[in-house]
Amino acid sequence: MKRVNRNYKVRNFHQAKWDEPIIFELSKRGERGVLVPQAEDEIVDLVGDGVSKIPASMVRKEAPKLPEISQPRVLRHYMRLSQMTLGADVNIEIGQGTCTVKYSPKVNEQLARMPEMTELHPLQHESTVQGILEIMYKTDLYMREISGMDRFTFQPSGGSQAIMTMASVVRAYHKANREADKRDEIITTIYSHPSDAAAPALMGYKIIYIHPDKDGYPDFEAFKAAVSEKTAAFIVANPEDTGVYNKRIKEFTDLVHEKGGLCCYDQANANGLLGVTRAKEAGFDMCFFNLHKTFSTPHGCGGPATGAMGVIKELEKFLPAPLIDFDGENYFLNYEIANSPYAVGKVRLFNGVAPVVLKAYAWIMSLGAQGLYEVAKVAVLNNNYLFKKLMAIDCVDAPYTRGKQRVEQVRYTLEKLTKDTGIKTEDIQRRMMDFGMHYWTSHHPYYVPEPATLEPTETPSKEDIDEYIATLEHIFKEAYENPEIIKTAPHNSVCHRVDESGMDDPKQWAITWRSYLKKSTT
């Protein structure tokens, strides 16, 4: 018998409201934060003034119109802004859905902020950056062990760029085999991350989606009908966004290989897999990890990201140069593969986001192999605890593989709640903000009706998860008793309900201050 628990405790939360102008509006002519010293004569004599060598066509006619503002005002401005957001450090991060958001140990942040890191410059001579090269090299070795791949690059600055790099390797591989013209199709599934389709589509590939069967696994019969001599690659997430793990994955990869295609594994979210399964054994030729998710550095949007992308031996020669190598004495940037006619060009100007790689390295080192496995176990346990508790609530359900466990996340449906009360999942999303919590629905279009995608990770304690559930239960109860309070939420945020109509209207878009001024005054 399902029941609603009414003995929950819901935390009081309110965002600070500062009515803070944007930084351009704070600008005051002549006010300064830092006075940049003139270059000393000795330096100018040695390397020049640093400006006169810039071609005239590239020199600004006038100084950039940056805000002019003092240091304390800058500090105050950003401190205030930070108080007006739902920060990861002040709330329980369960509701970011397909984005793993786990606690990043502060000691790792401190490491990344050491002057030895912050003062690095990508154009420094190799001999002066041996430390970070060693860390990247060793992180590569760990990634190999975790995935079974033979070589990693840290060049992609995020997950989608790593997918793009995988698709580039696919194209390079077929080009080398003189099959690039023939193979123009990439197969993926509707519950894989949308970037798995979007990135190769941007490169001109035709995208074929596979629907799930009634149990939520990618429909193998549909897959068989899709794979052909035209298949360039299969790009897939496993588990998919529903949290269902495709146990037949090897049959999928085998079929693609039979037809001459490659298999790419989206492991952006590998939190439930560390030390349990590997891309290689599942038959994949490539994979990537989001270091900023699984390996505990802040989430991409909240900080710099890195999509660590790995390939099997046969595909190494297609990776973007440089790779980092070790000759027994020194670490060095290896540009050898850049000479190959088929090599994928650089996907990013410089190699990797060094602080992110360092934090991931530190995290792996602090946990060790057993620790990583423990992370996976706790993440799966936390998820299934949450799953079981939520499924006991009358208005919550989750499609597919009923009665079975999920991996590290679940896509729930609140269809019943919507039918009973008219409250939609987006309404719940806004009301959750009133309690300082994140809650994410799903990518569009909603294949699961009124979806909610939750992923606890290994970070939260049982008490944290209980608090999250209690908050949800409180809101479900409101939906039945006082739906108006949900429909008009958020109440405790700086902005209440945002008018989103402008999002669809090019006449209102403004992605720069200048364009805002232009569009708002005409």
Partner 1 sequence: MKKLGLIVNPIAGMGGRVGLKGTDYVLEKARALGALPQAPNRTVMTLKELNKIKDQIEIVTCSGDMGENEAKKCGFKTRVVFASPNRDTTKQDTFDAAKKMLEENVELLLFAGGDGTAIDIYNAIGEHLTVVGIPAGVKIHSAVYASSPKKAGELTLLYLQDSVPKIKEVEVMDIDEEAFRRGSVKTRLYGYLKIPYEKRFLQGKKSGSVMSDQASQELIAFDIVDNMKEDIYYIIGPGSTTRPIMKLLDLPYTLLGVDLIHNKKLIKNDLSEKELLEEIGRKSCKMIITPIGGQGYLFGRGNQQISPDVIRKVGKENIIVVATKQKIQSLYGRPFLVDTGDVELDKQLNGYIRVTIGYKEQMMYKIES
The DSSP string of 8-29 is ------------PPPHHHH--T
Instruction: Give the position of tokens 């995290």.
Output: 363
Site for partner 1 in 392-431 (CB under 8 A): 422, 424, 426, 429
How far apart, in whole angstroms, are the C-alpha atoms of residue 112 and residue 507?
Answer: 42
Written in H, E and C, the secondary structure of 435-467 is CCCCCECCCCCCCCCCEEEECCCCCCCHHHHHH
Contact 426, 441 (CB under 8 A): yes
CB of 163 to partner 1, least distance (A): 15
With respect to partner 1, which residue has the nearer C-beta, 82 or 118? Answer: 82
Binding range to partner 1, per CB under 8 A, among 23-31, 359-367, 433-441, 512-520:
433-441
Site for partner 1 in 91-110 (CB under 8 A): 96-99
With respect to partner 1, which residue has the nearer C-beta, 120 or 222? Answer: 222
Site for partner 1 in 458-497 (CB under 8 A): none
The candidate with the shortest Cα–Cα distance to 105, out of 386, 371, 439, 462, is 371
**Cis omega (within 30 of 0) for bond into 72:** no
CA atoms within 13 A on the CB side of 72: 0
With respect to partner 1, which residue has the nearer C-beta, 43 or 203? Answer: 203
DSSP E strands in 372-430: the ranges are 410-413
State which of residues 38, 445, 481, 506 lies at the interface with partner 1 (CB under 8 A).
Answer: 445
CB of 114 to partner 1, least distance (A): 32
CB of 256 to partner 1, least distance (A): 14
How far apart, in whole angstroms, are the C-alpha atoms of residue 272 and residue 238?
Answer: 10
N-terminal to C-terminal alpha carbon distance within the chain: 61
Contact 157, 307 (CB under 8 A): yes
Q: How many residues bind partner 1 (CB under 8 A)?
A: 43
Which x/- pattern, by CB under 8 A, does the window 115-144 give for partner 1? Answer: ------------------------------
Q: Does 290 participate in binding partner 1 (rule CB under 8 A)?
A: no
Q: Does 500 participate in binding partner 1 (rule CB under 8 A)?
A: yes
Site for partner 1 in 189-228 (CB under 8 A): 190, 194, 197, 201, 204-212, 214, 219, 221-223, 225-226
CB of 445 to partner 1, least distance (A): 4
Binding site for partner 1 (CB under 8 A): 96-99, 190, 194, 197, 201, 204-212, 214, 219, 221-223, 225-226, 422, 424, 426, 429, 438, 440-447, 449, 500-501, 503-505
